[in-house]
Structure 1
């Protein structure tokens, strides 16, 4: 790392938060933003069912070449299909039923004219050939693309990452979150002596003259940014975890020199699985197994192929992001990125504007891990400790239809919102039932914020409309204003949306009790001069 300022930033802020601080806020949106972020007419008429991504990777020249076979079902007749591929990569040929098709490029979107009639309900396929030097990730995973590195022995160490920027930064696909592919095959050819690890299960290894092809199969729906390629001098070890849905294969791929270190450090992986199956329900991808794969960047939630680069340290690169002490009880990357298997990979936002669903719940999963192993008080200390990282700069929900996420506060403001909500539910088993129910109800689905809001309101029996409007759609948090005078406590909510009436736990008159503030002043008798607001509620408190 070249400067102490950069080092300070990276150790103090989760990697995805760090990206938010570095990227300049974009205030205007372009035609390309719309093509990338909206469900265009050239996307909506077909339902994606299958990919076979088959590529060769040459690390010496940083060049990739291959094809993607795309299968789909026709939802309504149309003659043009949109496929996304970002420069400097380019499509060389597209075919359907042996006929070569014309493809016109509009920035990062290709519009392919189809010759054969697209009959309602029919199942069709196109084959897309492409090649080029893909964008190199300068600061992965905050900046997507290929990471072309070498290990300490001089072997190539290569990986992909593309959240936010989009999977089309390195392979052609339908690059919008709303339509996940039902299943996928991934074939990657690499120079002999190297191994490729991708999503799903390894089906076969084909030895060619000077290269090796690794064939992987994904049986479950997968979001496009969750697809990955990892190439290196890997060694493998594994274990079988006895999970809620039976035996689960847990595989680990690490650099050769790190094998013994990983065998000890990766003990956090089955601990993660135990805690999260308790809170969220069965791991969502038993058919594809679970993997941790070492990479030359910090890590990412690639489905069934979670990538790891935390240097075998506890916490976040050896630091406790909560400053509570509890953050050094686990490896942050193993816990956080694997938590995304439930929130991001099982339940996926339809539009990146709703990315708080991924990051809020997953950041919250960190303190649920602490809760499971160290207790409720410890978990509260952890999540409350993260509040110092919240800026309250913008709403958590971004702008729809232009691939625009909300504030980086989606991580720990999202987590503290959920921690507050747990207090309102006021029944831990009921709260656990809600979290597990989310993963069961929306199993392998793409969702909107409204679906999540409605489900939690229904299951909790609380109208949470104003609550979610406040925490998700406003930049500021509720302010409880109060004064004490002449034996009377006067209180109200300020800086809140209309109809905000969240109850809050407080202590006064030597008694723990609930207050029911609204935006109008209320009064109640008080025999002392002290009001203590429960710190489990993420609010501001102002004594007037």
Structure 2
């Protein structure tokens, strides 16, 4: 979750992209040059100290990697306001060159293909502070009701190199997981991803908290949460459930999380498969910002309210029956954390599917009609201002419509397929086929084409690459009617359902006018099922 709105092989046609001017900094962060593709990260071992009073970080990150192509230079990323003290390899200090946030590290001899290497980057500095997390990336230095430090970080889109040295691209996750060791002043706790290994009292009135991640993990998912936390433990069908909440909120947290978490896990696992990060457990961690999908340590800041901070984003009342942040951010464990997009220009793969998990949860708990009411209520938040897919290679997302419009696209596909057993089987197979993989939009489209036996490419193309949604035009023709699609995409042929009287009829419009066989008195006799298909109807 980064932007919640309050109010190609198979991609064909010309994208309607509002291209923004790009800079060298953009391409260094978002692009894939040889210095990035020549190596594959195997593991991160992060060991830092956080000083709340001065808002400073100091420590190192060990990066273990496999050489993919012979090279003497690799690119690692760290925001230029953070100081590098040294870079070590095989007990040697390496030279490097900085260009904006990119660090080009030079080795004294060529690294050979298939070899495993390890470097340690020692650094320090005051990381960027977010003005309004999680919508802009950075640290949040806050305090609890007792004036104790309460610290969190959210960097999706902005980049994890904001606070630690990393290969800052979604194309490469550490295959063998990560360790996160964070020293904080005595009396505070740090909660990070994965399993808690233990704590160690240090000599400087600090305590180090050690965490271990077994699974591959997105760079932006690696997190720290510092505060006067209490730990609540539970289990569900063998899965460890751990909640870390501020001490003053322990009682309300116990009751609040009991309402949604277990029914949510039952629902999601029935529809999307087994929780993907079982080895690392499931955690909700209370944060001083609204929320973020930090893998196995989901950031929770909804203040124990139903809805979205006490509001229903659908405007229907349905959204007030569950905690939006718990459901949405946990949905990302399947879509975003397990299935990850190669480039943030394809972030709809995270956000469209995850927003749809809200509707899925409602259908599991409240039924189909409530789910349709909710998802159609969300349509008022769609702006259709710019394409969902952004610009590739420059670290730039598309429209915030990736959330609600992306979800409505999936609901439309469900009704295009018109077979719920098949729909749920396809969604489950999609989740399991690409589990813990990094993919792109053409991969998604190819999968749905294959599983449905239909060419859905024009549908995906229209919704993802153009601002306009498909426009169904109907006009009277003698005592019958004609119909067609008006779209940017040529040869658009999405079926759509209408009702005449008490009879449901499936039309097969194209971009050319077609004549219907049904007799009508007036086009006003026709009801188009716009609650099943996200379209414009004239």
TM-score when scaled to structure 1?
0.94
User: Hey, what's the Cα distance between the residues in 1 that align with 2:80 and 2:325?
Assistant: 31
> Does the aligned pair in 2 maintain the 1:221–1:444 contact within 8 Å?
yes
User: Hey, what's the Cα distance between the residues in 2 that align with 1:42 and 1:326?
Assistant: 50
Secondary structure of the structure 2 residue equivalent to 1:114: strand
> Does the aligned pair in 2 maintain the 1:509–1:526 contact within 8 Å?
no
1:235 Cα deviation after fit: 0.1
Cα 1:373–1:328 shift into 2, 3 Å: same
User: Which residues in structure 2 correspond to 1:180-259 (within 5 Å)?
Assistant: 180-182=173-175, 183-209=177-203, 210-242=205-237, 247-259=238-250
Partner of 1:9: none
Partner of 1:17: 4
Runs of 4+ in 1 over 4 A off after TM superposition: none
Asked whether 1:326 is paired with 2:326, we answer no
Partner of 2:133: 140
User: Hey, what's the Cα distance between the residues in 2 that align with 1:258 and 1:528?
Assistant: 63
Cα 1:44–1:193 shift into 2, 3 Å: same
> Does the aligned pair in 1 maintain the 2:77–2:102 contact within 8 Å?
yes
> Does the aligned pair in 1 maintain the 2:2–2:156 contact within 8 Å?
no
Structure number with higher relative contact order (C-alpha < 8 Å, ≥ 6 residues apart): 2
User: Which residues in structure 2 correspond to 1:157-172 (within 5 Å)?
Assistant: 157-172=150-165
Secondary structure of the structure 1 residue equivalent to 2:118: strand
User: Which residues in structure 2 correspond to 1:43-442 (within 5 Å)?
Assistant: 43-182=36-175, 183-209=177-203, 210-242=205-237, 247-267=238-258, 268-442=260-434
> Does the aligned pair in 1 maintain the 2:2–2:157 contact within 8 Å?
no
> Does the aligned pair in 2 maintain the 1:509–1:528 contact within 8 Å?
no
User: Hey, what's the Cα distance between the residues in 2 that align with 1:117 and 1:490?
Assistant: 69
1:350-400 Cα distance to aligned partner (Å, 9 max, x none): 000100000000001101000001111110110000000001111111111
User: Hey, what's the Cα distance between the residues in 2 that align with 1:15 and 1:325?
Assistant: 24
1:26 Cα deviation after fit: 7.7
> Does the aligned pair in 2 maintain the 1:51–1:70 contact within 8 Å?
yes
1:485 Cα deviation after fit: 4.0
2:515 pairs with one of 518, 523, 536: 523
User: Hey, what's the Cα distance between the residues in 2 that align with 1:15 and 1:226?
Assistant: 12
1:137-162 Cα distance to aligned partner (Å, 9 max, x none): 11111111110000010100000110
Partner of 2:10: none
Partner of 2:534: 538
1:496 Cα deviation after fit: 3.6
1:458-497 Cα distance to aligned partner (Å, 9 max, x none): 1111110111111111110000001124211111111341
Cα 1:399–1:15 shift into 2, 3 Å: closer
TM-score when scaled to structure 2?
0.95
Secondary structure of the structure 2 residue equivalent to 1:225: helix
Mark the runs of 5 or more structure 2 residues left unpaired by the alignment.
8-17
Secondary structure of the structure 1 residue equivalent to 2:515: strand
> Does the aligned pair in 1 maintain the 2:346–2:440 contact within 8 Å?
yes
What's the RMSD between the two structures over aligned residues? 1.3
1:17 Cα deviation after fit: 2.9
Secondary structure of the structure 1 residue equivalent to 2:110: coil
1:272-303 Cα distance to aligned partner (Å, 9 max, x none): 11111111111100000000000000000000
1:168 Cα deviation after fit: 0.4
Number of equivalenced pairs: 521
